[in-house]
């Protein structure tokens, strides 16, 4: 896959990359101050990323053949566009490789996938305290969706809400 930086290569992850993907996820969770919430294992990654159909896909960025970053993404859907989109769940570049075009190469590769798959948009979340990432994304031309608020239901609340559902037919 071509990239914007001459020494950066991007490729689709293979099942043999699971240990590297898990290392990136753990490093990301530490960076985001959420290591306590990271319960991913090699087995759970294999079961979700390398089965048919996969829950998500992963791109690996390398410099000189060494993995230095990843992007994990999946498809979402826009009812207003009546088109699929690409949702970037996580993007991480190791500190030593930052500023070398790795993040831009991963996002460019994702944009290429979105265009090839006739997707209407590429979206992601960023933590509001991560000013470095916010600046980087704005320089790419990304626009913050400030009028939207993310909601989430997990754990006991998720199970409680599910228990209220009538049978799905």
For the entire predicted model, the pTM comes to 0.91
pLDDT at 168: 86
Lowest mean pLDDT among 6-10, 39-43, 67-71, 93-97: 6-10
pLDDT in tens, 56-70: 999 999 999 999 999
Question: What tens digit of pLDDT does each residue of 100-133 get?
Answer: 999 999 999 999 999 999 999 999 999 999 999 9
Q: What is the predicted pLDDT for the residue at 85?
A: 97
Protein fold of 8-163:
Aminopeptidase (3.40.630)
Tell me what pLDDT residue 167 has.
Answer: 85
Rounded distance between C-alpha atoms, residue 29 and residue 9, angstroms: 24
C-alpha–C-alpha distance, residues 25 and 32, integer Å: 10
Q: Where are the domains of the chain?
A: 8-163
b/e per residue, 28-66, with b = 16+ CB within 10 A?
bbeeeeeeeeeeeeeeebeeebbeeeeeebbbbbbbeee
Q: Which of 31, 77, 125, 137 is catalytic?
A: 137
Q: Give residue 3's pLDDT.
A: 47
pLDDT of residue 24: 98
Residue 95 is classified by DSSP as G
User: What's the start-to-end Cα distance of the chain, in Å?
Assistant: 43
Whole-number CA gyration radius for the chain: 17
Mean pLDDT of the chain: 94
Task: Write down the pLDDT at residue 133.
Answer: 93
pLDDT at res. 4: 47
Residue-wise pLDDT tens digits, 7-17? 999 999 999 99
Active site residue 77: no
70 neighbors 61 (Cβ within 8 angstroms): yes
């Amino acid at each position: 896959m071509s990239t914007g930086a001459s020494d950066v290569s991007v490729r689709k992850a293979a099942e043999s990359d699971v240990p590297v993907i898990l290392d990136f996820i753990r490093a990301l969770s530490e960076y985001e101050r959420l290591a306590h919430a990271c319960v991913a294992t090699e087995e759970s990654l294999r079961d979700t990323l390398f089965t048919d159909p996969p829950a998500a896909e992963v791109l690996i960025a390398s410099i000189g053949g060494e993995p230095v970053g990843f992007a994990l993404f999946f498809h979402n859907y826009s009812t207003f566009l009546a088109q699929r989109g690409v949702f970037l769940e996580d993007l991480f570049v190791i500190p030593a490789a930052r500023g070398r075009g790795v993040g831009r190469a991963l996002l460019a590769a994702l944009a290429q996938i979105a265009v090839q798959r006739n997707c209407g948009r590429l979206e992601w979340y960023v933590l509001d305290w991560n000013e470095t990432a916010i600046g980087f994304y704005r320089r790419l031309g990304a626009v913050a969706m400030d009028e939207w608020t993310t909601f989430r239901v997990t754990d006991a609340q998720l199970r409680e809400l599910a228990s209220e559902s009538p049978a799905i037919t």
